[in-house]
């Protein structure tokens, strides 16, 4: 590590740790304003119905009720991430499309009064036929959820590169398998909450968990028919996202409408059940994979068809449908590949982007490689290495991979886990598995794809960083402060941060698409370099040196190599003010991507400036009497470019392994009735892993020193979630001597596979 770096690469406590540990951090649900009202939402009891009328006049007679709203009180502007996906009226006017969809709301002096009033709202419905899975929805004669989408196909992503059929003909071995998994939940500990406050000048300020404050403000300004400058999204602490905050929800629209109507602040907090179903869920998925390999296990052709249960509206549909394939094509060499991804409307809550990007896709690809390796008599480790992406290669859809530590991740994880001593040599009912994956660091977003930042020096020598980057709990605030302190030669405590406030900060794409470190961190680094250059120009005459001879360290500006010729930064700042040259640094970072690339019409070109890669080895033990799986240990590795703060990076590894691996592969799934009601929307019945459920974990950080990232850094943590899921699927199959094609790997599913093997039945994937 370069001796000049004081903070980068150091294991440091996050700058927000103390406030969160003391309970001083303010989340949206903690915010209290004078004269604040409490809101409650009335939800549809039907999974599909026409709205014939809404009457909340009686609700307004309840003492303490100050406002009521329904779809008739709005401009009925449709929301969608893209112009061609605008299909959701945030407060419906004509139809409801899932059980629990928002229909009307009230605001009152107390929550009890709001709940009483909600019960008095009268809604006339005409129930309509319901479709609850992709096969029902696509069947001939099925009711259409949106009239302009035949067979309820919301999105079709088609990619075809090379000659897939020739690749299969030239293959030594071809295998076809089918994998499935139901919907799962993000299950953030923090329930969704919104506070909306109308201001005297006609502006509206809002606090809510979000992944992109500038995107929220733009969408709400459109929906409310307000100028963009009049909608202000303020910063608050956020308790996790995992992809589930990357959208616009009815909650903020409803709270805004009520606040404007009542001219009072309004607070709306979702219950645990509402949080599970009325924000977003992970997609249910049915994936058919056909792969052809040569005698050494090199993939010559792959054909994948994937059906995703998208729920009632588009949301981030084109992205969510594409990303599982993109993660695969980034990870593995694929000379000939075809993908058909279908996102299908159903009468369920809306599916969104999710950290694991499809258990039935990612785990299916890797488990099939294991099965092909077994048929060829090869070690799955060698098969991974022969197919692993390398730096300098181009993906099938046209992205140059400029840095890649995938081979190092695979070999280091395998070595640390003792793969060669254990694979094929473990005692009965013990198994070991390997997962590998990749994730893009951002993608084309047009004018919103880049990040900007500003830095100003304060009179006492400290600095204030102004950035649009939002922190969803993953440590972005610390990342920005750490970069600024490193560049400016200041202590962490000398850096003040203003972030994620649309009134004060410049534009930023948001903290989804894994772009924050690359773009947001890159912009802050550039702004700090600009500010420092200005300050050095002020200090140079006083030190009788040229600006290029100066450097900043420890709160001092000094001549390089001559520490006695120094000037405190605070004095240089005062000199700049005295000379009428106040220092204000500006910087931006715009990823080099192909903005002609489009998710559906043109899925080719540079997707991301850089990509991260990861691997995981899992060791498990299966109880043959019950099918219960116990994870003994996980070895996680990821190429994150450079670990700005290894302590935070390791936390991301472990959080990803918990969510994608331990929870996602062993327990988490939604259950539904035929009427479209979720049976397990609460912590009582939806099982997420606790600390006592977590296995021993070893973390290995691989650094490829990416040429674009700040100090070489890129995304960290996403690959761990996916590769852990893949490794566990492979380990269970290795333990019981048979693949399991349906996830999660509940005791019932694993026991069924064991019993079918003992009965001599062939292993079969799920049927349509």
User: Which of 118-127, 166-175, 206-215, 507-516 is predicted with the least confidence, judged by mean pLDDT?
Assistant: 507-516
pLDDT tens, position by position, 381-408: 999 999 999 999 999 999 999 999 999 9
Flag whether pLDDT at 516 surpasses 60.
Answer: yes
Q: Chain-wide mean pLDDT for the chain? A: 96
- Residue 104 contacts residue 56 (beta carbons within 8 Å): yes
- In whole angstroms, give the CA distance from residue 322 to residue 340: 9
Q: 522-543 and 476-488 helices cross at what angle (nearest 10)? A: 20
Give the chain's count of helices (H) and strands (E).
19, 28
Tell whether the torsion through CA atoms of 21, 26, 32 and 34 is positive or negative: positive
pLDDT score for 414: 98
Mean pLDDT, range 68-77, rounded to an integer = 96
- Residue 613 contacts residue 389 (beta carbons within 8 Å): yes
Flag whether pLDDT at 1 surpasses 70.
Answer: no
DSSP string, 528-578: HHHHHHHHHHHHHHHHTS-GGGEEEETTEEEETTEEEEEEEHHHHHHHHHH
The torsion of the CA quartet 101, 107, 113, 116, rounded to 10 degrees, works out to -30
- Residue 207 contacts residue 471 (beta carbons within 8 Å): no
- In whole angstroms, give the CA distance from residue 744 to residue 179: 11
Give the per-residue SS3 of 668-685.
CCCCECCCCCECCCCCCC
- In whole angstroms, give the CA distance from residue 53 to residue 469: 42
User: Which of 149-158, 183-192, 742-751 is predicted with the least confidence, judged by mean pLDDT?
Assistant: 183-192
Find out if CATH 3.40.190.290 is the number for domain 17-24+446-589: no
Flag whether pLDDT at 307 surpasses 70.
Answer: yes
Most confident of 140-154, 183-197, 705-719: 140-154
pLDDT score for 667: 95
- In whole angstroms, give the CA distance from residue 469 to residue 609: 19
pLDDT tens, position by position, 357-384: 889 999 999 999 999 999 999 999 999 9
pLDDT tens, position by position, 252-299: 999 999 999 999 999 999 999 999 889 999 999 999 999 999 999 999
pLDDT score for 709: 97
Mean pLDDT, range 472-493, rounded to an integer = 96
Mean pLDDT, range 642-661, rounded to an integer = 95
User: Which of 161-165, 333-337, 436-440, 510-514 is predicted with the least confidence, judged by mean pLDDT?
Assistant: 510-514
DSSP string, 56-107: -TTGGGSTTEEEEEEGGGS--PEE-SSGGG--EESS-SSEE-STT-EEEEEE
Flag whether pLDDT at 241 surpasses 90.
Answer: no
pLDDT score for 130: 98
Flag whether pLDDT at 3 surpasses 70.
Answer: no
pLDDT score for 244: 85
Record the tokens describing residue 740, joined without a space.
């399991």
Specify which residues 618 forms β-bridges with: 433, 634
Flag whether pLDDT at 725 surpasses 90.
Answer: yes
Mean pLDDT, range 107-117, rounded to an integer = 98
Decide if 17-24+446-589 and 284-444+597-758 have a common fold: yes
- In whole angstroms, give the CA distance from residue 510 to residue 442: 10
Mean pLDDT, range 612-627, rounded to an integer = 98
pLDDT score for 243: 84
CATH for 31-128+190-239+245-277, among 3.40.640.10, 3.40.50.970, 3.90.1170.50, 3.40.1710.10? 3.90.1170.50
CB atoms within 10 A of CB 199: 10
Helix (H) or strand (E) run with residue 126 in it: strand 122-127
Record the tokens describing residue 286, joined without a space.
């049915």
Residue with tokens 């690339």: 597
Mean pLDDT, range 642-649, rounded to an integer = 96
Flag whether pLDDT at 671 surpasses 80.
Answer: yes
pLDDT score for 513: 78
CB atoms within 10 A of CB 625: 10
- In whole angstroms, give the CA distance from residue 627 to residue 738: 13
CB atoms within 10 A of CB 72: 13
pLDDT score for 2: 43
Helix (H) or strand (E) run with residue 412 in it: helix 406-417
User: What separation in angstroms does the CA of 489 have from each of 150, 161, 486, 536?
Assistant: 60, 49, 6, 12
pLDDT score for 242: 87
Nearest CA to 644 out of 95, 134, 10 is that of: 10
- In whole angstroms, give the CA distance from residue 46 to residue 128: 9
Residue with tokens 């996050």: 14
Contacts within 8 Å (CB) and 24+ apart, 740-743: 741/177, 741/178, 741/179, 741/180, 741/364, 741/765, 741/766, 742/179, 742/180, 742/181, 742/766, 743/179, 743/180, 743/181, 743/359, 743/360, 743/363, 743/664, 743/665
pLDDT tens, position by position, 415-450: 999 999 999 999 999 999 999 999 999 899 888 899
Flag whether pLDDT at 662 surpasses 50.
Answer: yes
The full set of domain ranges for the chain reads 17-24+446-589, 31-128+190-239+245-277, 284-444+597-758
CB atoms within 10 A of CB 575: 16
| Whether the bond into 617 is cis, omega within 30 of 0 | no
DSSP for residue 518: I
Q: 359-376 and 718-736 helices cross at what angle (nearest 10)? A: 50
pLDDT score for 19: 94
DSSP string, 574-595: HHHHHTT---EEEEEE-----T
- Residue 433 contacts residue 730 (beta carbons within 8 Å): yes
pLDDT tens, position by position, 553-565: 999 999 999 999 9
What's the topology of domain 284-444+597-758? Aldehyde Oxidoreductase; domain 4 (3.30.365)
Record the tokens describing residue 758, joined without a space.
């003992």
- In whole angstroms, give the CA distance from residue 411 to residue 56: 64
Nearest CA to 743 out of 389, 464, 358 is that of: 358
């Amino acid at each position: 590590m370069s001796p000049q770096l004081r903070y980068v690469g150091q294991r440091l406590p996050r700058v927000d740790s103390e406030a969160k540990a003391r309970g001083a951090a303010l989340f949206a649900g903690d915010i209290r304003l004078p004269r604040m009202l409490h809101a409650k939402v009335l939800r549809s009891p039907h999974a599909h119905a026409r709205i014939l009328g809404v009457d909340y006049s009686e609700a307004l007679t309840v003492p303490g009720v100050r406002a009521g709203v329904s779809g008739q009180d709005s401009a009925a502007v449709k929301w969608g991430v893209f112009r061609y996906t605008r299909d959701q009226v945030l407060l419906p006017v004509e139809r409801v499309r899932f059980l629990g969809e928002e229909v009307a709301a009230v605001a009152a002096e107390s929550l009890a009064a709001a709940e009483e009033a909600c019960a008095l709202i009268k809604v006339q419905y005409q129930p309509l036929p319901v479709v609850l899975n992709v096969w029902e929805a696509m069947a001939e004669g099925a009711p259409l959820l949106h009239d302009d989408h035949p067979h309820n196909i919301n999105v079709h992503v088609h990619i075809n590169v090379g000659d897939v059929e020739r690749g299969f003909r030239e293959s030594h071995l071809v295998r076809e398998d089918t994998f499935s998994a139901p919907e799962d939940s993000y299950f953030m500990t923090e329930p969704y909450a919104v506070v909306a406050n109308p201001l005297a000048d006609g502006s509206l300020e809002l606090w809510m968990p979000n992944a992109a404050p500038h995107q929220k403000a733009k969408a709400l300004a459109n929906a409310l028919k307000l100028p963009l400058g009049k909608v202000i999204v303020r910063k608050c602490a956020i308790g996790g996202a995992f992809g589930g905050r990357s959208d616009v929800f009815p909650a903020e629209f409803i709270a805004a409408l009520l606040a404007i109507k009542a001219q009072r602040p309004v607070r709306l907090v979702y219950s645990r059940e509402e949080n599970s179903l009325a924000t977003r869920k992970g997609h249910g998925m049915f994936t058919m994979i056909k792969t052809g390999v040569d005698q050494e296990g090199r993939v010559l052709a792959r054909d994948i068809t994937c059906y995703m249960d998208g729920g009632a509206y588009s949301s981030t549909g084109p992205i969510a449908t594409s990303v599982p394939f993109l993660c695969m094509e980034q990870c593995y060499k694929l000379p000939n590949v075809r993908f058909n991804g279908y996102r299908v409307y159903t009468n369920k809550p809306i599916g969104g982007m999710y950290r694991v990007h499809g258990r039935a896709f990612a785990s299916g690809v890797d488990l099939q490689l294991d099965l092909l390796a077994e048929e060829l008599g090869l070690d799955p480790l060698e098969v991974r290495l022969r197919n692993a992406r390398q730096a300098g290669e181009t993906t099938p859809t046209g992205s140059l991979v400029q840095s890649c530590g995938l081979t190092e991740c695979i070999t280091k994880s395998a070595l640390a886990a003792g793969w060669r001593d254990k694979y094929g040599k473990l005692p009965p009912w013990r198994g070991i598995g390997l997962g590998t994956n990749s994730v893009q660091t951002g993608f084309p977003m047009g004018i919103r794809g880049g990040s900007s930042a500003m830095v100003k020096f304060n009179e006492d020598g400290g600095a204030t960083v102004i950035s649009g980057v939002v922190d969803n709990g993953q440590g972005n605030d610390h990342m920005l402060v750490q970069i600024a302190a490193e560049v400016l030669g200041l202590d962490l405590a000398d850096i003040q941060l203003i972030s994620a406030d649309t009134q004060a900060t410049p534009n930023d794409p948001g903290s989804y698409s894994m772009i924050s470190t690359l773009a947001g961190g890159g912009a802050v680094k550039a702004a700090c370099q600009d500010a420092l250059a200005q300050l050095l120009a002020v200090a140079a005459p006083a030190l009788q040196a040229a600006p290029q001879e100066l450097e900043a360290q420890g709160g001092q500006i000094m001549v390089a190599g001559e520490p006695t010729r120094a000037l405190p930064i605070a004095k240089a700042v005062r000199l700049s003010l005295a000379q009428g040259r106040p220092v204000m640094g500006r910087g931006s970072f715009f990823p080099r991507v192909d903005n002609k690339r489009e998710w559906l019409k043109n899925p080719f070109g540079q997707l991301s400036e850089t990509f991260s890669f990861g691997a995981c080895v899992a060791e498990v033990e299966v109880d043959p009497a019950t099918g219960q799986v116990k994870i003994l240990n996980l070895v996680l590795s990821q190429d994150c470019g450079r670990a700005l703060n290894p302590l935070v990076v390791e936390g991301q590894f472990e959080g990803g392994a918990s969510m994608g691996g331990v929870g996602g592969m062993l327990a988490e799934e939604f259950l539904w009735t035929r009427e479209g009601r979720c049976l397990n929307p609460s912590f009582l019945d939806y099982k997420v892993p606790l600390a006592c459920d977590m296995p021993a974990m070893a973390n290995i950080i691989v650094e490829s020193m990416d040429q674009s990232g700040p100090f070489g850094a890129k995304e960290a943590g996403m690959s761990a979630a996916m590769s852990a899921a893949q490794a566990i699927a492979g380990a269970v199959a290795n333990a019981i001597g048979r693949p399991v094609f349906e996830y999660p790997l509940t005791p019932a599913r694993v026991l069924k596979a064991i019993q079918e093997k003992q009965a001599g039945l062939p292993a079969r994937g799920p049927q349509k």
